Amino acid sequence: MKHRGLAVAARVATVAAGALAIVWLGMGAGWFRGPYPGPSRDLAWALGVPAGAYNFGVVAEGRIYRSARPDARFLEWVAAEHGVRRVISLSGDDPSHPAARAMGMDVAVFGWSASELPPEAELRRVAAMLAGGEPVLLHCASGSDRTGYAIAAHRVWNEDWDRERAVEEMTRYWHRPERAPALHEELAERLGR
């Protein structure tokens, strides 16, 4: 009976070690997409691949970066690695904002919903902020929907991208147009202006 318990424990340990190895290799290789939950974020930091844990992306090198909800260590990282000095939150106030302000970052807060387009005036204001040239981190909760709307508006209005290309870029950050087709028709119409 004792040996049987040891055999079961050895199998469980082997499966757990294998699963951890797959996660570790997958994070390093970019197989998994952020945002990751807390313990997985810790693992991403330990592996030296924090960007993936936050659905991070470079929109315009030296100027515009995007992510999921940051924490203080991620804000320190984007400040050190990319010179970010401004944070634009599209998902309302965030626990990381006091840390951002303590680092000397300017924080702009918008309370958008992921399931509807933001007011056009606010979308245009964010697009104008992104065109300002100052290194900025734009984020929402997951870095896919609200951040995607803002980046698409920036791409079309400030960089003369066509709408289809801007929407295709959104999908690379886990935005799924098929979840809300009417919203995408409205987005396409708004971006056409």
Spatial contact of 43 and 71, defined as CB atoms under 8 Å apart: no
DSSP letter for 83, please: -
Provide the 10 A C-beta neighbour count for residue 119: 11
pLDDT tens, residue by residue, 72-113: 999 999 999 999 999 999 999 999 999 999 999 999 999 998
Q: Supply the CATH classification number for the domain 53-191.
A: 3.90.190.10
pLDDT tens, residue by residue, 15-69: 444 444 445 444 444 445 556 667 888 888 888 888 888 889 999 999 999 999 9
For the chain, domain boundaries: 53-191
Tell me the two tokens of residue 69: 């909800």
